[in-house]
Amino acid sequence: QVQLVESGGGLVQPGESLRLSCLASGITFDWYTMSWYRQAPGKERELVATITRQGSTDYVDSVKGRFIISRDNAKATVYLRMNSLKPGDTAVYYCRALYAGNEYWGQGTQVTVSS
């Protein structure tokens, strides 16, 4: 079956960095547009970053210049490097795969930014 498994979340202090990983299985990974979303308590789920099969990237304004999305097709993995983390980045981060009529989600990983 299809699985997206996130890892790398945790508790960090403001200004620190963290890298999230999402390992995909059960799909032809190279075909899929991959995205990271996040959801904080009481808030809507928010699209954070996207990388296409061609390697084009896009980011929500609040993370531009701080976050970098990348992919390693040989490892069927998408990453989110988060630099200069702020308390407002605290959320559950979710990985999404999208191609044609197919959409899959990971289970999420908690990122907490607090002093």
**pLDDT for 15-56, tens place per residue?**
999 999 999 999 999 999 999 999 999 999 999 999 999 999
pLDDT of res. 96? 98
What is the band of 62 on the pLDDT scale with cuts at 50, 70, 90? very high
Q: What's the chain's average pLDDT?
A: 98
pLDDT of res. 28? 97
Beta-bridged to residue 33, according to DSSP, are 98
Token pair 């490097």 in the structure block, residue: 81
Who contacts 13 (Cβ-Cβ below 8 Å, separation ≥6)? 113, 114, 115
For the chain, the straight-line distance linking the first and the last C-alpha, in angstroms and rounded, comes to 40
pLDDT of res. 111? 98
Token pair 């609040």 in the structure block, residue: 62
Residue 9 dihedral angles phi and psi, to the nearest 5°: -70, 165
pLDDT of res. 25? 98
Residue 98 dihedral angles phi and psi, to the nearest 5°: -140, 130
